[in-house]
Amino acid sequence: MENTGLPVQGQTSRQASERFEKPRNYGPLSQFNGHARITGPCGDTIEFWLKASEGRIAGIGFTTDGCGPSRAAGSMATELAMGKPLTEAAQIEQADILTALGGLPEESQHCALLASNTLKATITDFGRKDR
Per the DSSP assignment, residues forming a β-bridge with 57 are 52
Residue from 16, 60, 97, 111 touching ligand FES (CB under 6 A): that is 111
In angstroms, rounded to a whole number, what is the distance separating the alpha carbons of residues 91 and 16?
21
> Which 22-51 residues touch ligand FES, going by CB under 6 A?
40, 42, 44
Residue from 63, 70, 75, 122 touching ligand FES (CB under 6 A): that is 70
Neighbouring CB atoms inside 10 A of 29's CB total 18
123 phi/psi in degrees, rounded to 5: -70, -40
The residue (of 86 and 104) whose beta carbon lies closer to ligand FES is: 104
In angstroms, rounded to a whole number, what is the distance separating the alpha carbons of residues 85 and 82?
9
In the bound complex, what is the minimum distance in angstroms from residue 45's beta carbon to ligand FES? 8
Task: Considering only the stretches 24-32, 53-61, 75-83, 106-114, report the one whose residues sit in contact with ligand FES under the rule CB under 6 A.
Answer: 106-114
Which helix H or strand E contains 60, and what residues bound it?
strand 56-64
Report which of 104, 114, 99, 131 is spatially closest to residue 33, judged by C-alpha positions. 131
Site size toward ligand FES, by CB under 6 A: 10
The residue (of 18 and 44) whose beta carbon lies closer to ligand FES is: 44
The residue (of 86 and 92) whose beta carbon lies closer to ligand FES is: 92
User: Cβ(123)–Cβ(90) under 8 Å?
Assistant: yes
Residue from 34, 59, 61, 66 touching ligand FES (CB under 6 A): that is 66
In the bound complex, what is the minimum distance in angstroms from residue 115's beta carbon to ligand FES? 8
